[in-house]
Chain A
Amino acid sequence: MIMSGKTLYDKLWEDHLVHLNPDGSSLIYIDRHLVHEVTSPQAFEGLRLAGRKPWRISSILAVADHNVPTKSRELGIEDPVSRLQIETLDQNCRDFGITEFDISDPRQGIVHVIGPEQGATLPGMTVVCGDSHTSTHGAFGALAFGIGTSEVEHVLATQCLTQAKSGNMRVTVNGNVGPGVSAKDIVLAIIGRIGTAGGTGYAIEFSGEAIRSLSMEGRMTVCNMAIEAGARSGVIAVDDKTIDYIRGRPFAPVEDQWQAAVTAWRKLHSDADAVFDREVQFDAPAIEPQVTWGTSPEMVVPVTGKVPDPDSEANPVNRDSMKHALDYMGLKPGMAMIDIHLDRVFVGSCTNSRIEDLRVAANVIKGRRVAANIREALVVPGSGVVKRQAEQEGLDRIFMEAGFEWREPGCSMCLAMNADRLEPGERCASTSNRNFEGRQGYGGRTHLVSPAMAAAAAVAGHFVDVRTFYKD
């Protein structure tokens, strides 16, 4: 028998195996547990009711992000329900002695931005959080996935999770994307081809020249949306960029441990002879800037394309979904994507709110103005650290001079749990990750795009191909 090599996912899984159950499921150890206010209160309640305590406090980092206001925080939180959730998190962290960045902490931000930013996310870790976009952290060669509230309680109580191992899938993006095409466009193009269930049951490893060429911020954007392709986790091999990003971060290893850690991290890649259960290849130069037209991330076309016609779809269930989506989105088949006019623009979310995203967007709008038909254009930095960095670089002034609002960090209009939301029927170019019905507010219409595309759309008032926009 010929033994094939191991995938990165295989290695991460084996390194965390505590016990193998007779039915094939496994008890795996969790190194980092990120906690936020929405999916944790019932877990802490369960822990108390059963008289249990967290197994390892030092594994936990908590932050309030989903509900936080992005306008001035001096007056506190207006919505009593949001306030109660955030106060409950603060109280639970005090009671159990958990490290928390509360809303007055300068490091506060979106949980998936602050983990890597603080060096709390490290290669080789298992990282979990009660949030599906935990896949983001896989960009560091970590096994990272979202969990439900019962699992949050389970990790708190046992430091472990019972899991079935996923299959191995590799998405290889060959060659390099052209100017104006970003990590967001790569991942939307992937989802557009394989569908929102294309990665179900798999851990996806993203590889190829286009992925290696991405910055850590770009890799996080790609892994962030692995879940929109149905995969609980996305992972990217460790290289120099990974290590350079982590060096010197507040929670990163220091001195002797740094060297030992780097030596261990260098092994975090798939073996050359590893076999994947499913392989998909993409040609990067062929990827154009993407815009979603429907109510699922797989409903996406290049900006040069048109709104598709449901009548050309053979599968009746898909045809009905398409018709329903077009009806909700208020679009007609055959319409050019560049003819779609917008009401709002949102630059933010755990997908695209890091410093690089803000730099790209600022570069597009510099010296220009938000179009008159845009009712509101928001920039919501991913964290307090990102916000201050951007302010030092003068990006806040570029945005405000162009007519954007410059806000405090949080999840904001990605899911509209705070005051930032669309009104019924409003149309938004959004750098977030989900265009589901009602996601950005009841009746709101979301088009997912990259930061550069969102910025260009804000200036034009409708979608434009950012590649030609640059040349103008």
Chain B
Amino acid sequence: MEAFQRIYSKVVAMDRANVDTDAIIPKQFLKSIRRSGFGPFLFDEWRYLDQGEPGMDCTGRPLNPDFELNQPGYAGAEILLVGQNFGCGSSREHAPWALQDYGIRVLIGRSYADIFYNNCFKNGLLPIVLTKEEVDRLFHEATSSDYRLKIDLESQTVIMPNGDCLNFSVAGSRKYRLLNGLDDIDLSLQYSDQIREYELKRRNEAPWLFRELQSL
């Protein structure tokens, strides 16, 4: 996984509550057996005026001029400012894959759905939680493509254009993994001996949990 660097970027403001993962990446794109290539279909039903299908060339598709990502001047934005309960609904990891593939590295909002929030960290995306007042202030300010925010994960701050810093919290292990681009599996396998000890103990207590399915 790519290590998370400092970000300095334009901010796309998307003031909608309860944006679900079906909206982030509609289900027809879930048929892929790959992890990449979802970016052109991010928010497909809102972003284009026609219906998207997997594998299609999106360069000539009619864009919805009212959709936030299609506003002029926002190409290359790495920060998405979002409404509350972002990423609710289906557990599809294709949602963070699509955001990541599009080029988004940071989300800023009041709250996220649990599964989506977890999935972000596993894919190098940083979902920042700020207070309602702070998020409202950002929505109020981030109204042009000249507006830029700095994100410093090391010091856990969002730095505003006037120099004001908004602090955010993030679990220590998640920060460490993001900053170092580490694979979660390697970290868990450091505890292989403990996993085996647990299995041994549990096999004695509750042997029915270890029944072979293949023999049936």
For window 249-263 of A, CB contacts with B under 8 Å fall at 250-251, 253, 257-258, 260-261
Contact A158 B189 (CB under 8 A): yes
In the complex, the chain A residue whose C-beta lies closest to that of B22 is A436
- How many B residues are at the interface, by size bracket? 35 or more
Q: Does B26 lie at the interface of the complex (its beta carbon under 8 Å from any beta carbon of A)? A: yes
Contact A197 B206 (CB under 8 A): no
Contact B31 A24 (CB under 8 A): no
Contact A439 B22 (CB under 8 A): yes
Contact A257 B208 (CB under 8 A): yes
For window 114-172 of B, CB contacts with A under 8 Å fall at 114-115, 118-119, 122-123, 171-172
Output the least CB separation between A420 and chain B (Å). Answer: 12
Contact B188 A160 (CB under 8 A): yes
Given that A42-B34, A148-B119 are contacting pairs, would A442 and B91 also be in contact in the complex, using a CB cutoff of 8 Å?
no
Contact B17 A154 (CB under 8 A): no
B contact residues around A158 at 8 Å (CB): 185, 188-189, 192, 195
Output the least CB separation between A292 and chain B (Å). Answer: 14
In the complex, the chain B residue whose C-beta lies closest to that of A67 is B31
Tell which of A23, A24, A147, A436 touches B115, judged by Cβ atoms closer than 8 Å.
A147
For window 21-51 of A, CB contacts with B under 8 Å fall at 21-25, 27, 29, 31, 38-39, 41-42, 45, 50
Given that A18-B195, A132-B115 are contacting pairs, would A230 and B88 also be in contact in the complex, using a CB cutoff of 8 Å?
yes
Complex Cα distance, B88 from A450, in Å, reads 23
Q: Does A338 lie at the interface of the complex (its beta carbon under 8 Å from any beta carbon of B)? A: no
Chain A count of residues within 8 A CB distance of the other chain: 83
Q: Does A207 lie at the interface of the complex (its beta carbon under 8 Å from any beta carbon of B)? A: no
Q: Which of A149, A230, A260 has the most CB of B within 10 A?
A: A149
A contact residues around B34 at 8 Å (CB): 42, 45
Tell which of A88, A125, A147, A417 touches B33, judged by Cβ atoms closer than 8 Å.
A88
Complex Cα distance, B199 from A120, in Å, reads 18
Contact A150 B119 (CB under 8 A): yes
Contact B18 A196 (CB under 8 A): yes
Complex Cα distance, B90 from A31, in Å, reads 23
8 smallest beta-carbon distances between A and B, as pairs: A253-B208, A148-B93, A41-B33, A150-B122, A132-B91, A23-B172, A148-B119, A146-B91
- Interface, chain B (partner A; CB < 8 A): 15-18, 20, 22-23, 26-28, 30-35, 45, 51, 54-55, 83-85, 88-93, 96, 111, 113-115, 118-119, 122-123, 171-174, 183-185, 187-189, 191-192, 194-195, 198-199, 202, 205-214, 216
